Structure 1
Amino acid sequence: MSTARKRRNATLIGATLAALAIGTLQPTAAASAAPMSQAKTSASRQSPVFGVEEGIARTVASSLLSQQWREQVREAVLKSGEVDLHALTGKAADTAGTGLKSAVAGADRRILSLKGLPARTGSMLRIRLGAQSMRPHLTAASAPWVAVAATDDHAKTLTAYDSQGRRHTIDTSKVPDRPLYIVDIDVAKAHRAGLAVLHEELVAKGLSKPQTRSGALNTTATAGWWATKVDAIEVRDDEEPWFKGAAEMFSLVTGFGLDGKARVDSVDMPYLDYDNTVYYPNQILVNWSNYKYNLADVVMMEDDDGTNYKALAQAITTALLTITDQGTYIPLVNAVLSAMPDSWFTDDPDYVESWYTLARNSSGRLNGARGNGWMTVEPYFVEQF
């Protein structure tokens, strides 16, 4: 995975497992994860966002016939790693670059609409080098191809375009030696805006609470509130191959709120860039003052280009508003997963890991139900000023 995208990355919710007891936690949780894993093996679907990106990739490739513009792109990519394509076309020194500006602006608007994001989010399209190992090959004399990262993380090939408009097939099992530009979206920006859209929709439906100035969602104790803090965390496979760049992770924490309604709190995890790497975030994961019961679920997801946050929020709220408090804790995962369109299990967003029946007094290492990650947690009291 390249360092070009420090991003992607809140949990998608717990499951209607009847009569789940702590003693039978792992077998039941693993069974709940199965539908997601099986869905991931279904046929890949090409998202509308990918189609927009591919059209721009072909156009950018053709524009690189101009030596002056090609050099400007090369210098920008080598300097910044990831370049705002709209801003770059605005600074173009010749017509090959300036001619792209309107097409890029139109594509940005289309992508925002497809992802359910407001227009104020700004430009989306970015261009970057496919991998850091390509840097020595990106010389002034080189003629880079341009591609879009495949929507399927397990794709065996990518399609790239040269400046003559010809298509080339690239084997994804190894990083190419020749320079390759990847047209992508600013997933970090989209992710931040998307979580805001998700939160606003959840608040509107009574499934979450507005953020306070301090960031704590709801404090009921005068002296503070109890939380679960993540001390260390590792993901073995973040579902991101080399051509996708770094991951952008988030988790959804779910349970029953103080009003007896199901609730969801999104937790951004922007530091989880690499798999097989242990991180020590000291991050608050659960604010227990928001929950009626001493149990909650966590599902970790990896955000991808095609995620429509408004549709995601609508699916979650539709599923959870049908579940009522029966006077005892009920995990919520299966209810949510069954409401999701199949396409959300193929790429956007990707299911990474889940933790069931997390308690306020949980501590130590907790292995995920999927066996794809672990975290060490501890109870933590957040004092009120």
Structure 2
Amino acid sequence: MRPRQARRRGTVAALVGSLLALSAGQTAGALQATAATPAPTTAASVDATQDQAARAIARSLTDSAWRNRVRHAALTSDEVPVTALAGRAGGGLKATLAAADRRIATAKGLDAKVGPLLRLRLGSDSMRGALTSGTAPWVAPATSDDDATTVVAYDSHGRTHTLDARHTPAHPVYVVDIDGSKALAAGLDVLDEQFRRYGLSSDASGASAAKPQADPSERARAAGGGFWTSRITAVELSDDEEPWVKGDAEIYTLVTGFGQDGQVRVDPVDMPYLDNDGTVYRPNQILVNWSNYKYNLADAVMMEEDGSTNYRDLAKAIVTALLTITDQGTYVPLVNAVLDAIPDDWWTDDPDYVDSWYTLAQSDNGTRYGARGNGWMTVEPYFVQEF
């Protein structure tokens, strides 16, 4: 199950009063004028495409040989790349799914080179027995609505079946959704590309600025080559009940602060292990590379890959907001600016915001709870030594 996100922008704005120092610049103004407003139908477009794909796959299961191939694939793999598998099906199914893949990539602001994104999986392990015994499966599209109470599934005759979203059915159901890991990897490339394009991801000026050193021994270590980081030793997101049709979470974090050049920078960090809420993960993952930052403080905004995520529009919105912020010689939090940049429809339909951490310090050594109480992580200073 995936972590539940915030429901309205107002609840986020109330977390911490804005301390941002804003000054409109020419670059930001030009970008504001040209940045496309994120389409309010991104999630709806992805959902509709998944629904069309689910209908097509359900109809194709009238072919017994093809039905057996899909069943074998679903029983032997957690995720079936259904577009590639459809090359062995008749009736033009592969062409239909390939067109659906292209529409999804476009809706999410991804380059076509990302390749097929559609996948098929069994809705629950509890369905394996019925599927193995020969029960004809239904096919359901995954929903992007975390509050869905019902799920619509299709059989091979085109009939619809309304299922309870909160209780896993006994009847076997194939779920058609997006390969979140693949979409997120491509999406983070888009974010990084856009951030670099507009100067929000400049190179560090050197490891010597990695930390305001507290004592001579630490200065000696830094001089020897290497840099200080903040490493996540444990992390957990809250346990919230969600529809069985939804798959694992695909979580990433936007680390923000002021770069060595004094400009705001954003570093996307993939967190592929954070699949389920209510589970403590111990990744020993580097979250912040302090050699990239001017100050010993940074912010972190945790997000989730979902159907409503258009990465190109998200990047433009964040860039537009952050390019107006200038270095005033002291650190100011950037979380609010990032959250305010997130399109309104992402909050009212299917929000991608998970939690945020204000003013993470390089010296932090212990557990920090998210601002909206949806998660916690334990961090520690960690020095990466050069060979």
Question: What displacement does 1:160 show?
Answer: 1.2
Long gaps (5+) in structure 1: 3-11, 21-42, 211-216
Corresponding residue of 1:225? 227
* Mapped contact 1:364–1:378 kept (Cα < 8 A): yes
Structure 1's consecutive aligned runs of 4 or more residues displaced over 6 angstroms after TM superposition are: none
* Mapped contact 1:299–1:354 kept (Cα < 8 A): yes
Find out whether 1:111 has 2:104 as its counterpart.
yes
Aligned letter for 1:147? A
Superposition RMSD in Å: 2.4
Question: What displacement does 1:19 show?
Answer: 8.6
Question: What displacement does 1:219 show?
Answer: 3.8
* Mapped contact 2:20–2:325 kept (Cα < 8 A): no
* Mapped contact 2:42–2:309 kept (Cα < 8 A): no
Question: Could you say if the C-alpha distance between residues 239 and 206 of structure 1 is closer, same or farther in structure 2, counting changes exceeding 3 Å?
Answer: farther
Corresponding residue of 1:75? 72
- Please point out which of 191, 194, 199 is paired with 1:206: 199
Aligned letter for 1:67? S
Question: What displacement does 1:350 show?
Answer: 2.1
Corresponding residue of 1:88? 85
Corresponding residue of 1:367? 369
Question: Could you say if the C-alpha distance between residues 254 and 238 of structure 1 is closer, same or farther in structure 2, counting changes exceeding 3 Å?
Answer: farther
Question: Could you say if the C-alpha distance between residues 109 and 195 of structure 1 is closer, same or farther in structure 2, counting changes exceeding 3 Å?
Answer: same
Matches of 1:186 and 1:138 in 2, distance apart? 23
Aligned letter for 1:111? I
Question: What displacement does 1:237 show?
Answer: 3.5
Find out whether 1:382 has 2:367 as its counterpart.
no
Corresponding residue of 2:50? 53
Find out whether 1:62 has 2:59 as its counterpart.
yes
Query: TM-score if structure 2 supplies the norm length?
Result: 0.83
Aligned letter for 1:150? T
Question: What displacement does 1:340 show?
Answer: 1.8
Question: What displacement does 1:363 show?
Answer: 0.8
Corresponding residue of 1:284? 286
Matches of 2:349 and 2:281 in 1, distance apart? 24
Matches of 2:117 and 2:157 in 1, distance apart? 26
Secondary structure in structure 2 of the residue aligned to 1:82 = coil
What is the CA deviation profile of residues 103-161 of structure 1, one whole-angstrom value per residue up to 9, with x for unaligned ones?
01111111111111112211111111111111111135312111111121111111111
Secondary structure in structure 1 of the residue aligned to 2:287 = strand
Corresponding residue of 1:256? 258
Matches of 2:138 and 2:274 in 1, distance apart? 30
Matches of 1:104 and 1:19 in 2, distance apart? 46
> What is the aligned length?
343
What is the CA deviation profile of residues 181-213 of structure 1, one whole-angstrom value per residue up to 9, with x for unaligned ones?
111111111111110111011011100136xxx
Question: Could you say if the C-alpha distance between residues 100 and 61 of structure 1 is closer, same or farther in structure 2, counting changes exceeding 3 Å?
Answer: same
Long gaps (5+) in structure 2: 3-11, 22-39, 209-222
Question: What displacement does 1:45 show?
Answer: 8.4
- Please point out which of 311, 314, 330 is paired with 2:313: 311
Question: What displacement does 1:336 show?
Answer: 2.2
Aligned letter for 2:308? G
Question: What displacement does 1:349 show?
Answer: 5.3
Question: Could you say if the C-alpha distance between residues 73 and 140 of structure 1 is closer, same or farther in structure 2, counting changes exceeding 3 Å?
Answer: farther
Corresponding residue of 2:142? 149
Aligned letter for 1:86? T
Aligned letter for 2:202? K
Matches of 1:70 and 1:382 in 2, distance apart? 52
Question: Could you say if the C-alpha distance between residues 79 and 18 of structure 1 is closer, same or farther in structure 2, counting changes exceeding 3 Å?
Answer: same
Question: Could you say if the C-alpha distance between residues 156 and 45 of structure 1 is closer, same or farther in structure 2, counting changes exceeding 3 Å?
Answer: farther
What does residue range 24-39 of structure 1 map to in structure 2 within 5 Å? none
Matches of 1:48 and 1:335 in 2, distance apart? 27
Question: What displacement does 1:15 show?
Answer: 7.3
Question: What displacement does 1:305 show?
Answer: 2.6
Matches of 1:239 and 1:308 in 2, distance apart? 26
Matches of 1:19 and 1:85 in 2, distance apart? 47
Corresponding residue of 1:33? none
Aligned letter for 1:180? V
Aligned letter for 1:73? V
Secondary structure in structure 2 of the residue aligned to 1:158 = strand
Matches of 1:218 and 1:117 in 2, distance apart? 31
* Mapped contact 2:168–2:244 kept (Cα < 8 A): yes
Corresponding residue of 1:180? 173
Question: What displacement does 1:239 show?
Answer: 8.0
Query: TM-score if structure 1 supplies the norm length?
Result: 0.83
Matches of 1:333 and 1:240 in 2, distance apart? 27
Question: What displacement does 1:347 show?
Answer: 5.8
What does residue range 125-144 of structure 1 map to in structure 2 within 5 Å? 125-139=118-132, 141-144=134-137
Question: What displacement does 1:242 show?
Answer: 2.4
Aligned letter for 2:19? A
